[in-house]
Copies of this chain bind each other. A is one copy, B any other.
Amino acid sequence: MSGVPGTRMHALMSELFPICRSITGDGVRHSLGLIGQRIPLDLYEVPTGTRVLDWTVPDEWNVRDAYIRRDGRRIVDFTSSNLHLVGYSEPVAATMSLAELRPRLHVHSERPDWIPYRTSYYTRSWGFCLAQEQLESLEDGEYEVLVDSTLEPGSLTYGECVLPGEQRQEVLLTTHVCHPSLANDNLSGMALLTELGATLAEVPRRFTYRLLFIPGTIGSITWLARNEGELEKIVAGLVVACAGDSAGLFYKRSRRGDTPIDRAAQYVLSRRDGAHVSDFVPWGWDERQFNSPGFDLPVGCLSRSREEEYPEYHSSADDLGLVRPEQLEDALSTLLEILDVLEADQRYVNLSPKGEPQLGKRGLYSSTGGGAAQDEQLALLWVLNQADGEVSLLDVAERSGLDFETVREAAARLREAGLLEEATES
């Protein structure tokens, strides 16, 4: 049933939606627990104060309640939407005039009916977000304000799902888990990576796959700091986010721009209507950390809309209705196809490199001359001609203009015939 994975991902998003997540706290633990019911997930807790690269793991933030009351009535209520509270708001309990309160209130700059999403992680502060319409309806007078939060030493939580492959070389797949009730950014990414993990767990894998569910920025920095000695294993990576809106698929290249994952994603997306590819820029999601010059990892980013590129971005309008199951499913199948190309994009050595080997006696050539050459036949010749140990199958596909699938099948037939073997790494 083709609709099942899309429906399943959307259902997981619905389950995750109400939870108040941030870069630390119980919301992340709770969310990772739900994901851990679907794929084998190891949770890591990194204590507040731990030095991670240039950063320090911050205090852990948790919220019991938060509101603005007027005449005993909650007019802005964290329990109705966690977006109402500025992320990482410090505790406060006070009564103040609207004039005093006003600087603490944030509205959406363009849409009067949407609640914006705001945070203040590294500068202690507190505040509320609300629709501009509501702000304008507030009358002068006294307001009762409560932020019943804790901002104390604790830990930063992240999850890791490792799927061992034939090789110790790893493909890194990451998504950020630090947003509260925002659907596309980034419950879609969390659901997509979960479903991908469940799918990959069931298939043979050349590479080892490491799936990270991490808070944005501080999460990737923490993970990089703790795994610095292991990074040489990473041969490719993808940051996945914003995968369910109506936009076409978008691939952002790694800093180096022409690594195997860049080539594979470029190949697959060039065959999808409405998809596009662009060069690396040093902002966005966690790819900016993986692509910092001291690491320079071959990590690209797959999404639909980029951050700030869709109107509902970081607002209450980024809700479950914005994300469509068929878009999630299309993203999943694209992702699987990219990984499939990546796994198959190997370099081979022609074992009979002097002249063409006699294909006819191996059943690889039609025995009567003069017919039209078919793609399958041409692919055999291309692979034999190019297989000098330096050229990969994607290189062959690009030089020949043949489909990667056709080229890969030709390589498989030639291996079976004993004419080709994998190149050893140089």
Please report A residues at the B interface, Cβ cutoff 8 Å: 53-55, 116-123, 217, 220-221, 224-225, 228, 255, 281-283, 288-289, 291-296, 308, 314, 350, 352-358, 360-361, 367-370, 372-373, 378, 381-382, 384-388, 400
Contacts and interface: CB of A to CB of B under 8 A. Distances in A.
A395 to B, nearest CB: 13
Contacts of A123: 360, 367-368
A372 B314 CA distance: 12
Contact of A119 (B221, B314, B370): B370
A354 B292 contact: yes
A118 B369 CA distance: 6
A361 B53 CA distance: 14
A385 B294 contact: no
Given A53-B355, A225-B355, A282-B381, 7 more contacts: A54-B352, A54-B358, A282-B384, A288-B385, A292-B350, A293-B350, A295-B354
Nearest to A360: B122
Q: Interface majority SS on A: helix, strand, loop or mixed? A: loop
A294 B54 contact: no
A356 B292 contact: yes
9 contacts: A53-B354, A120-B369, A221-B356, A224-B355, A283-B373, A288-B385, A293-B385, A294-B355, A308-B373
Given A119-B368, A314-B370, A385-B255, A354 B282 contact: no
Contacts of A225: 354-355
Contacts of A308: 372-373
Contacts of A119: 368-370
Contact of A55 (B293, B295, B358): B358
A372 B309 CA distance: 11
Given A119-B369, A282-B381, A388 B293 contact: yes
Given A283-B381, A355-B54, A294 B367 contact: no
Nearest to A373: B283
A182 to B, nearest CB: 12
A157 to B, nearest CB: 19
Contacts of A360: 122-123
Nearest to A357: B54
Given A122-B360, A314-B370, A355 B292 contact: yes
Contacts of A358: 54-55, 122
A368 B295 CA distance: 27
Contacts of A228: 354
Contacts of A378: 281-283
A314 B293 CA distance: 55
Nearest to A381: B282
Nearest to A228: B354
B293 A353 contact: yes
A8 to B, nearest CB: 31
A367 B184 CA distance: 24
Contact of A120 (B116, B294, B367): B367
A278 B221 CA distance: 46
Contacts of A400: 281
Nearest to A399: B279
Nearest to A369: B119
A79 B354 CA distance: 39
A282 B378 CA distance: 8
A107 to B, nearest CB: 12
